[in-house]
């Protein structure tokens, strides 16, 4: 797409903000003068997207292999999702939770069906992943395992990432995220990752809940070992503790299944969702399984102004519809398999992890941040969750040809990264 076509792409937004004709460098100096520095300096100023491609303010094109961190499930500017959002907004945009709307109810029903939730299961909608986990945290506080004593202990894993608000941050393991904000809501104990013995030792009748990510995304795409979820289900059931799965990153088709935990053949007590759910529109959800868990939070005990609004729930309905009707889960499985096996064969790649289109791979040197930069220079967006780890979480509609364009370019990107060290 050249600059002329770029300029021709005018929208009503362009009447409010001149989105073209300013260099990225100019935007970035305005950014640093006006936005809080918590994200550091943004890598690029993006102005437009279509499918798996995005363009920056300087007209450069990128293959987006990060998908807004596992969010843009159907790629950018998906025409179907866009038209559903626009038509819902033009019909009824927001009503507050004093009221409900058909899209909210239909989405709850749809999610309960997709997750094989038993009778009595319920949904609660939020605007983000961290809010879904906050709701789950509050749910856990209400679980006494059937006994009279209040249970305040919660188990999470080393390496866990559950969000940045205070409750979700308490569940998050990373010291650099936590330490500046202590004291955090109490009672959370982090145990070694993927260690059934450690879980067995930790889960007793003082534990309200165990929070697990089936695949730890922020920790570099680390799947729980086979059998772990099953063991966690048995141990928590025995102790009267809730098993809460954070599928904010892994859910909604990311691994080629609706939920990454599907294959474990267990029914958790709750699942949290967000990232891919709205196809790029902000929405999260807490699903509680069974009537007992679903009634732990009662009228007045939790709430949200925006959560579950007609537009967000319509966006999610559109996303789920497209994933199902365009056979996207199959695409995720096939392209993901291809990507992982091809990556494993590349020189300089020492390990490949993940499932579907959530892919992590390790390099033979601590050059991952430099690979991100060299990737951008070469027209590819990737992410480095660790010093030698690269994460890919592209739109679920990525094609084999697009995957191959990255695989072909990767040796030169890695070399450029090493040369830049």
Ligand X SMILES: *Cc1c(COP(=O)(O)O)cnc(C)c1O
Question: 141 by DSSP, 3-state: which?
Answer: helix
Minimum distance of ligand X from residue 90's CB (angstroms): 26
Q: Which stretch binds ligand X (CB under 6 A): 78-86, 122-130, 173-181, 304-312?
A: 122-130
- Pick the closer one to ligand X by CB: 134 or 362: 134
The yes or no reply on residue 395 touching ligand X (CB under 6 A) is: no
Q: Which of 248, 335, 363, 370 binds ligand X (CB under 6 A)?
A: 248
What does the buried/exposed string (b/e) look like for 99-132 if buried means 16 or more CB atoms within 10 Å of the residue's CB? eebebbeebbebbbebbebeeebbbbbbbbbbbb
- Pick the closer one to ligand X by CB: 343 or 358: 358
Q: Which stretch binds ligand X (CB under 6 A): 52-60, 94-102, 123-131, 150-158?
A: 123-131
The yes or no reply on residue 213 touching ligand X (CB under 6 A) is: yes
Give the whole-angstrom CA distance, residue 46 versus residue 139. Answer: 38
Q: What backbone phi and psi angles, to 5 degrees, belong to 32?
A: -70, -20
Find all residues with CB under 8 Å of 97, minimum gap 6, and list them.
303, 304, 305, 307, 308
Number of residues counted as binding ligand X (CB under 6 A): 15
The residue of the chain with the least Cβ separation from ligand X equals 129
Minimum distance of ligand X from residue 315's CB (angstroms): 15
- Pick the closer one to ligand X by CB: 110 or 164: 164
Give the whole-angstrom CA distance, residue 399 versus residue 404. Answer: 9
Q: Which of 104, 130, 293, 313 binds ligand X (CB under 6 A)?
A: 130
Minimum distance of ligand X from residue 155's CB (angstroms): 16
Spatial strand order of the sheet with 153-157 comes to: 122-126, 284-288, 270-273, 242-246, 207-212, 153-157, 188-191
Find all residues with CB under 8 Å of 178, minimum gap 6, and list them.
169, 170, 172, 184
Residue with tokens 């030698």: 388
- Pick the closer one to ligand X by CB: 173 or 414: 173
Q: Chain centroid to CA 313: how far? A: 17
Residue with tokens 């033979």: 364
Question: ∠ at Cα 10 (9, 12), nearest 5°?
Answer: 145
Question: ∠ at Cα 224 (219, 177), nearest 5°?
Answer: 25
Q: Which of 56, 246, 355, 362 binds ligand X (CB under 6 A)?
A: 246
The yes or no reply on residue 274 touching ligand X (CB under 6 A) is: yes
**Contact, 382 vs 363, CB < 8 A?**
no
Q: Which 8-state DSSP code applies to residue 149?
A: S
Minimum distance of ligand X from residue 181's CB (angstroms): 15
- Pick the closer one to ligand X by CB: 140 or 239: 140
Q: Footprint of ligand X on residues 152-181 (CB under 6 A)? A: 161-163
The yes or no reply on residue 380 touching ligand X (CB under 6 A) is: no
Minimum distance of ligand X from residue 408's CB (angstroms): 29
Q: Which stretch binds ligand X (CB under 6 A): 51-59, 127-135, 258-266, 305-313?
A: 127-135
Q: Which of 159, 217, 278, 375 binds ligand X (CB under 6 A)?
A: 217
Q: Which of 128, 319, 383, 389 binds ligand X (CB under 6 A)?
A: 128
293: left (phi over 0), alpha (psi -120 to 50) or beta: alpha
Minimum distance of ligand X from residue 216's CB (angstroms): 7
- Pick the closer one to ligand X by CB: 164 or 418: 164
Catalytic residues: 161, 246, 275
Pairing of strands 270-273, 358-363: unpaired
- Pick the closer one to ligand X by CB: 173 or 317: 173
Residues forming contacts to ligand X in the complex (CB under 6 A) are 128-130, 133, 161-163, 213, 217-218, 246, 248-249, 274-275
């Amino acid at each position: 797409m050249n600059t002329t076509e770029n300029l021709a792409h005018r929208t009503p937004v362009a009447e409010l903000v001149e989105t073209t004709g300013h260099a990225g460098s100019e935007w970035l100096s305005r950014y640093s003068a006006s936005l809080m520095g918590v994200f550091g300096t943004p890598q690029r100023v993006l102005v437009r997207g279509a499918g798996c491609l995005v363009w920056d303010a300087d007209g450069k094109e990128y293959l987006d292999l990060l998908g807004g961190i596992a969010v843009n499930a159907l790629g950018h500017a998906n025409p179907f999702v866009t038209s559903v959002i626009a038509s819902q907004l033009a019909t009824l945009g927001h009503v507050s939770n004093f009221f409900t709307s058909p899209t909210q109810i239909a989405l709850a029903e749809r999610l309960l069906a997709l997750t094989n939730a038993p009778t009595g299961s319920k949904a609660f909608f939020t605007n983000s992943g961290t809010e879904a986990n906050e709701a789950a945290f509050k749910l856990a506080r209400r679980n006494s395992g059937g006994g009279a004593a209040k249970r305040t202990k919660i188990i999470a894993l080393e390496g866990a990432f559950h969000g940045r608000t205070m409750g979700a941050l308490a569940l998050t393991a990373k010291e650099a995220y936590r330490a500046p904000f202590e004291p955090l809501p109490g009672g959370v104990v982090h145990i070694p990752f993927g260690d059934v013995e450690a879980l067995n030792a930790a889960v007793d009748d003082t534990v309200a809940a165990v929070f697990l990510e089936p695949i730890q995304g922020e920790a570099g795409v680390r799947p729980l070992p086979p059998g772990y979820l099953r063991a966690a289900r048995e141990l928590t059931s025995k102790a009267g503790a809730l098993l809460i799965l954070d599928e904010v990153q892994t859910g909604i088709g990311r691994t080629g299944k609706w939920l990454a935990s599907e294959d474990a053949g267990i029914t958790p007590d709750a699942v949290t969702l967000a990232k891919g759910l709205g196809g790029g529109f902000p929405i999260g959800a807490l699903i509680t399984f069974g009537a007992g868990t679903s009634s732990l939070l009662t009228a007045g005990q939790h709430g949200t102004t925006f959560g579950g609004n007609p537009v967000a729930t319509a966006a999610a309905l559109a996303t789920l519809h497209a994933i199902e009707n365009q056979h996207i889960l199959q695409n995720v499985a096939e392209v993901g398999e291809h990507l992982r096996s091809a990556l494993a064969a590349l020189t300089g790649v020492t390990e490949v992890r993940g499932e579907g289109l959530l892919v992590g791979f390790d390099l033979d040197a601590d050059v991952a941040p430099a690979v991100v930069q060299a990737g951008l220079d070469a027209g590819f967006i990737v992410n480095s969750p660790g010093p030698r780890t690269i994460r890919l979480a592209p739109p679920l509609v990525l094609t084999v040809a697009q995957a191959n364009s990255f695989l072909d370019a990767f040796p030169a990107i890695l070399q450029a990264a090493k040369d830049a060290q």
